[in-house]
Amino acid sequence: MKRKTFATLNTSQSSLKVKIHDVILINPKKEDSKQGEGVISCHHITILEKLEIETPDEDAEDVPQSLEDGGQSTIDELKEVNLGIIEEPRLTFITASLSTEKEGKYMSLLTEYKDIFAWSYKEMPELDLKVAVHHLAIKPGYRSIKQAQRRFRPELIP
């Protein structure tokens, strides 16, 4: 298999067009062949690269000030609701800005599916406690020492 690449330039109509041709010879003629001339199969691949870039006529709009500040998270007032009973509370939060109709729909949906939620690690037996609980590797009897803060780029700190 052989590959030949060549380019064709066209400078008509005050524009430059470049065509790059790749010719791949699948079954090239062998020089030591006793049959004489043979048929060579080839595939022609043409790639046209367009050098003119189309720009839209639209101008970019200014960015809203809320995005310039890095985007602030929305903070809603929350209302604590109990999905369980008084002896065994299942506390969760919903937004306080809901209408009474929507709040009732949310509460009925949450109470209908409250058995899906895991309220403690005991309700998740397949969860390994070595993964879920954080432990510091500190030997008993040693006291902890607070290290000084490392300053990687002190020129940025005022």
Predicted pLDDT of residue 62? 76
Output the pLDDT for position 122. Answer: 82
Q: Between residues 4 and 38, which one has the greater pLDDT?
A: 4
* pLDDT band, residue 101 (cuts 50/70/90): very high
Question: Model pTM?
Answer: 0.38
What residue has token string 């369980």? 84
Note the pLDDT tens digit of each residue in 46-96.
Answer: 666 666 666 666 667 777 776 666 656 667 889 999 998 889 888 999 999
Kindly tell me if the per-residue pLDDT of 30 is higher than 70: no
- pLDDT mean over 28-35: 54
Model confidence at 110: pLDDT above 70:
yes
Q: What does the CA dihedral 90, 92, 97, 103 come to, rounded to 10 degrees?
A: -40
For 24-61, give one letter per residue: b (16+ CB within 10 A) or e: eeeeeeeeeeeeeeeeeeeeeeeeeeeeeeeeeeeeee
Q: In this model, does residue 12 exceed pLDDT 60?
A: yes
The distance from CA 145 to its chain's CA centroid, rounded to whole angstroms, is 39
The 10s digit of each residue's pLDDT in 126-144 is 888 788 888 888 888 888 8
